[in-house]
Structure 1
C-alpha cells in the first residue's frame, strides 16, 4: 500500500526540498537573454528575418575575407540601419573564427567600467549564440569588470542588434560570444580595458564586433553643430562624421579623443570604439580599419529636422 506524503510530514518535507533543489540546479545551468527587441526593432519572424539579412548581405557586393578580424557596425532598428550594417558583416569569413567579442555602449545603465553578461546564451529568432563562459570567468578574475544584471542586458539594444547578423553569418559554424557592455569610461579606463583585451586580438580565432551609430543631430538630441561652409545641414553632418571616421582609420585613440573633445560629436559608441583602438595599439597583430559605408536616417535641411548617421567598417590584418 502506498504511503501518503501528507500523513508523513518528514517525507513530505524531504520531497519538497529535493524538487526545489532540482529546479534550482536546472535553472542555473542555462540563463537565457531573450531577443527582447525582436518584433519591434526588427522582425521576429525567422523566415522573414533570414531573407532580409541574406538580401542585404548579398546587395553589399562584398566578399568574405579571412583577413578581416573585426567590424564597426550600427545598432539602430533594421529599417534604418540594416542595409548599412551589412557592409560590415558581409566581410566576415566564419571558417576559422570560434569566438566573437561583442563591445556595445550602454544607453540606459550607468557604469564607469565595463560589464560582463551573466547570461549563458543569447537568443535570436534565427538561432542561439552561446556565451563563452570560460573567457567570461577569465575576465571576471581580473577584478576590473562589473557583472550585468539580466534586466540591464535585455534593456540594452546596442549588442542585440548585432546578434541576428552574427547568427546568420555563422550559420552552420560553432561560435561563442563574449558580450561586453562598455560604460562611460574616462580616457584612463579606455586605455586600461584596451590593454587588458589586446591579447585576444593576437588569437586569429577571435573576432571583434564593435557597436556604434554616428552623429545624432537635432534638438531632440541636444546637438546641432552646423558648419555652413559645407552647404546644407546634412552635408555638414557628413563632413563631421567623415572627419571622425578618417581619424578612426588612423588607429590613433588619442587623436579620436581629441576630435571628440573638440566637436563633441554624438557618436554613441565612442567608448567601445576607443577601447577597440587601444586594443589595436597594444596587440602584436597589425590591423587597419577601413570604412565601407555611410548613411543617414534622413537629410536634415532645417533646424526642425533630425537624423542619425550609420557607418560600417572592417578591421583587416595589414600585412
Structure 2
C-alpha cells in the first residue's frame, strides 16, 4: 500500500516544530513529574491544548508508561471541527511528528472497518483535528527506540447507545496486554466564550467552583461507571470536550475481562477565574492501571 502521510499540522503553532527543542521540552516535563514507569499502566487520559498550556500536565499521564511490552496504541480523540454521529478511522498510513514518525496499524484498521460501524475520515479532517495530534509527540518520545503502531480513532458526537456499542467492539483489545490506550480530553471550558458559566458560590471564588465541578467528574470517571458519568454530564453539562472518548473508554473497561482502574494524578487550570469576564480551560491527567486486587 502506498504511504499516506498525516502531517503534523499544528507543529510550529501549538507546539514547537524544532525537533531538538521539542525533545528537550518533553524530556524536561517527563522528568519533573517524577513518576515511576509501570507495566501495569494500560492507558491514559491526557489533555490536548497547546503545550504552553497543558504540556506539563500531560506529562503526569505519559510519564507512567512503560514502553517495553507495548506494541500498539489506540488513540481516541474528540472531533472539534467535523460533525459525525459515529467514530471515524484514519486513512493515513503514518502520522508524522517533528521527533519521529508513528506508523498506523493497518491490520487493526481493517478489522475495525470490517465491523461496518466506523466511517473513514478524510485526510483534511484528520490534519485539521488537534485532539489526537497533541498526544503524538509525547507518544513518539515515550516509545523512542521501540516498535509501536497506532490506531487513531476520531470519536464523533456519539449517542449513549453507540458509546456502549463502540466500547463493546473495542473491549477485546483491552484484554491484550500489548495494547495501550491514549484518551484525549480537556476538562471544564469556563467563560462566556465557551457559553458555560456554572458557578456554585459555596466553593468561594469561581476557579474553586470549577475545580469542585471537575473533581466531581474525575471521581465519577474513577469509579469506572459510564452511566454515572452520563448522569453527571446531563446534570451539570460540564464542558469536558473528550466526554465521548472517555465514555467509550469506560465502556471498553466495563466489557473487558481485565480489571483496570483509572486514577487521576494531576489537575491544572489555564488561569484562575475570579470574575465573569475571565475564562479558563482545565486539564486533568489520569493513568489506567490493571487492578490485581479485584481480579475475578
Q: TM-score, normalised by structure 1?
A: 0.91
Q: 276, 291, 294: which one pairs with 2:249?
A: 276
Q: 253, 259, 262: which one pairs with 1:286?
A: 259
CA distance in 2, matches of 1:152, 1:72: 22
Q: 37, 45, 52: which one pairs with 2:25?
A: 52
Written as runs of structure 1 = structure 2, the 5 A alignment for 1:50-129 is 50-129=23-102
Tell me the residue number matched to 2:232.
259
CA distance in 2, matches of 1:287, 1:57: 23
**What SS class does the counterpart of residue 124 from structure 1 fall into?**
coil
Is 1:172–2:145 an aligned residue pair? Answer: yes
Is 1:249–2:196 an aligned residue pair? Answer: no
Q: 168, 174, 180: which one pairs with 1:195?
A: 168
Tell me the residue number matched to 1:144.
117
**What SS class does the counterpart of residue 75 from structure 2 fall into?**
strand
Tell me the residue number matched to 2:202.
229
Unaligned segments of structure 2, at least 5 residues = none
Q: CA deviation at 1:127?
A: 0.1
Q: Which has the higher helix share?
A: 1
Residue-by-residue CA offset, 1:96-123 (whole Å, 9 max, x unaligned): 0000000000000000000000000000
CA distance in 1, matches of 2:114, 2:261: 30
Tell me the residue number matched to 1:216.
189
Q: CA deviation at 1:47?
A: 0.1
Q: CA deviation at 1:74?
A: 0.0
Decide which structure has the larger Cα Rg and report it: 1
Q: CA deviation at 1:256?
A: 0.1
Residue-by-residue CA offset, 1:212-270 (whole Å, 9 max, x unaligned): 00000000000000000000000000000000000000000000000000000000000
Runs of 4+ in 1 over 6 A off after TM superposition: none
CA distance in 2, matches of 1:244, 1:85: 18
**What SS class does the counterpart of residue 36 from structure 1 fall into?**
coil
**What SS class does the counterpart of residue 220 from structure 1 fall into?**
helix
CA distance in 2, matches of 1:29, 1:151: 18
Q: CA deviation at 1:165?
A: 0.1
CA distance in 1, matches of 2:285, 2:32: 15
Residue-by-residue CA offset, 1:267-301 (whole Å, 9 max, x unaligned): 00000000000000000000000000000000000
CA distance in 2, matches of 1:239, 1:141: 43
Q: CA deviation at 1:88?
A: 0.1
Q: CA deviation at 1:45?
A: 0.1
Tell me the residue number matched to 1:206.
179
Q: CA deviation at 1:146?
A: 0.2
CA distance in 2, matches of 1:116, 1:263: 31
Number of residue pairs aligned between Structure 1 and Structure 2 = 292
